Amino acid sequence: AGSRGVNDRYEMQFNGRHVAISSDFMNELASLRRDVSYDIHTKGIVSKKRRILCKLGGSSSGLVLSARYLTYQKHRIVADQLKPVYSVAGNCLFNEHYAPITEKSKLTASRLLGMMDVLMRMQSK
């Protein structure tokens, strides 16, 4: 999924397909994104690899929520990075673990993941 803004107009895409969402919904996503931050105000994100917890055959499955971080200089964006902020293991082989530190950030990450899941399911039809 991705979004971009040109002259304060935003567009969202899933797998290269345009998704029509309201500006209110996009503003909500942008506002919530601030709660799952690596910055000093939210105390950061825990990132660690878990050891494999089982000997299940097949591949690992899970979800990783990432947020785009922008770097500004003199009111201009000079760099951007997409960083993982939250993960949910789908099976015991999934060993990537990302989690916000504060309870508010954890709740926000779960909420964002739920919102994105609903959008993806609506677009898969």
Question: What is the rounded average pLDDT of the residues 11-16?
Answer: 69
Q: Quick check: pTM over 0.75? A: no
Pairing between β-strand 96-100 and β-strand 62-73 as defined by DSSP bridges: unpaired
Question: What is the rounded average pLDDT of the residues 39-67?
Answer: 76
pLDDT tier at 83, thresholds 50, 70, 90: confident
Q: What are phi and psi of 33, to 5 degrees?
A: -55, -30
Q: How far is CA 51 from the centre of its chain?
A: 23
**pLDDT the model gives residue 125:** 62
Best CA proximity match to 64, nearest among 45, 39, 43, 89? 89
Report CA torsion sign: 11, 69, 109, 1: positive
Residue labelled with tokens 């039809």: 125
* Residue 86, helix vs strand vs coil: strand
Question: What is the rounded average pLDDT of the residues 45-64?
Answer: 79
pLDDT higher for 51 or 119? 119
